[in-house]
Every structure is written in C-alpha cells, then in structure tokens.
Amino acid sequence: MQIALVGIGKIALDQHVPALRASPDWTLAATVSRHGTVDGVPSFTGIDDMLAAHPQVEAVSLCLPPVPRFAAAQAVLRAGRHLMLEKPPGATLSEVHILQRMARDAGVSIFATWHSRMALGVAAARVWLAGRSVQSGRITWREDVRKWHPGQDWIFEAGGMGVFDPGINGLSILTEILPTPVHLTGAELDVPANRQAPIAARMSLSQGIEVDLDFRQDGPQTWDIDLQTDGGTLTLRMGGNILEVDGRPVEGQDDIMQEYPALYARMAGLVRDGASDADLSPMVLVADAFTLGRRNVVEPFEF
C-alpha cells in the first residue's frame, strides 16, 4: 500500500521514515513539508497538491505539530484516504471527535497512535496486571527539551502541550496496562514566565498514582513507571521497553526503534480490516490537568 508522510521534521526523519523503509506493508510515495524532504521521494509543500497528484496514495501519516494538524487531517479524510496521527492526535479533544466522525462517514480508517504503547515491555505488563489490584504508583518522565525538541518554540505555545508532549507517553502506557481506569484528582503546572505551556508538572491520579514530569532533565533521561500491587511491584523502564517484577527482569530490552514499525504494522491491519483505533484516554488526563491544575509561574525559558 502507498502512504504519504506530512511534516518532515526530527521525529519523521528519526522514526517514521526508517519504519516505512523497513515495512513490508507500506511504500512511502510522497511527502509534504514546508522545508523537509526525503531522498528519492516526491515532495510537496501543500497537502491538497499532494492528494491531487497522487490518487493512488491510500493513507496519510501526519507528523505535524498539534495545532496545524486538524486542517490537514480534514483534507485527508475529505479526499477519502486513511488517516494516521502522531501523538497527541490533536490540539483539542473536540477536534479529534470531529475527525472520528468524518472517518466513519467516509468509510476510512483513523489511527490515533501512541508509540509508547508499542514498547517491548508493555503488552507483558498488561497481562501481569490483569486481575491484580494497584495500591500505589509513580510515573517519572524527565527529559531534556533541548535534546529532543531543539529550537521548537511551538511546543511551548498554546496547544503545544509543553512537558505533556513527552509526558503523555507515560500516560498512554498507564492507561493501556491498568486493569481499571484512572482519573485525575489534582495537578500543578510550572509555566515559564515567557511561555504558554508548562515545562514541568505534577499530577495526582486515583489508585494512589503520582506523576512527575519535567522538561529540564540533565544527563541520563528518565522514563519509568512503578506500580505497587497486591501481587508485587511492577516496574517499566526506558519508556516501557524493559519490564521488571519485584526487581527481576521479565521482558524487553532497551530498543525504542521497534515502536514505530509496530505502529505501521497496526495501521496496515486496521486498513485491511476496515477498522479504526482512536483511544483518547491519555489525552483526557492531560486536558483534565489543564482544567484542574494550579498554575505556577517559574523562571523564563530559552532554547
């Protein structure tokens, strides 16, 4: 099947393009970007021009920032193409609800991806937790924004989500593996004086789970989940790629390069089955944090 990739930035070049090149299901037929290109692939600067020039393209994968993504997603669905969305799937929940209805009415698949759910230890963690009761837990998701989003001011604008852009990865794992859903009970958001989105956040969830997010981590990066249950302690490290139970290795390895190939395999399956997958539970927790959270103004931030 032929697919187009829209938004040729760091995440597209680091993850999407290698995954598509290795995919047995997809051929990258076109790209759309104001600045970026992929060698050997026809490139366009406007999505409407690409859609008109490539009627054989069956699906479009959007890697744009959340705010401009909605217009591009609507264009894809109006053209009757299948739609794959990088996380978070939109700037607002209402936008994604509209896209879900459009996809259903057009009879095409929509896939709101959460790449961390494809990490190597996540499926086994979900199986281990089934039937167990979570008593308490902690998510620690701390990374360096200058390393992962160099110079990308959009991430601190309204709709850019700030530290929740990476933090939602941990929440996507949590909502995938827990036997029963969680809800937000409190939050604090640290917003730089010269920015609109938080650079750090703390969240309190039901089931005694605390969340610590920070975009100012120096040195080694931290992407860990620890859950205390009535059957022992489950730990997911390295963004969900290593699973431990009571300190003993159970599943996985430190290899994040398996996540995006798994996403594109899932997308191919959805298209073949005429199905969609647009779970918004991680984004609901983030939206609730912006609604319920206390806002603390902290020192200005510059790249």
Closest CA to 234 of 303, 142, 138, 113: 138
Instruction: Give the span between the Cα atoms of 257 and 255, in whole angstroms.
Output: 5
| Strand order across the beta sheet in which 248-252 lies | 248-252, 242-245, 232-237, 222-229, 134-142, 209-214, 200-205, 184-192, 294-298
Whether the Cβ atoms of residue 108 and residue 80 lie closer than 8 Å to each other: yes
Instruction: Give the span between the Cα atoms of 126 and 226, in whole angstroms.
Output: 13
Instruction: Give the span between the Cα atoms of 132 and 228, in whole angstroms.
Output: 10
Whether the Cβ atoms of residue 183 and residue 288 lie closer than 8 Å to each other: yes
Give every CB contact of residue 132 below 8 A, 6+ residues apart in sequence.
179, 229, 230, 231
Where in the sequence numbering do the catalytic residues fall?
87
Whether the Cβ atoms of residue 117 and residue 258 lie closer than 8 Å to each other: no
- Angle at CA of residue 196, ends 161 and 176, nearest 5°: 15
Instruction: Give the span between the Cα atoms of 199 and 146, in whole angstroms.
Output: 12
The three-class DSSP label of residue 87 is: coil
Instruction: Give the span between the Cα atoms of 292 and 204, in whole angstroms.
Output: 11
The neighbour count for residue 218, using CB atoms within 10 Å, is 9
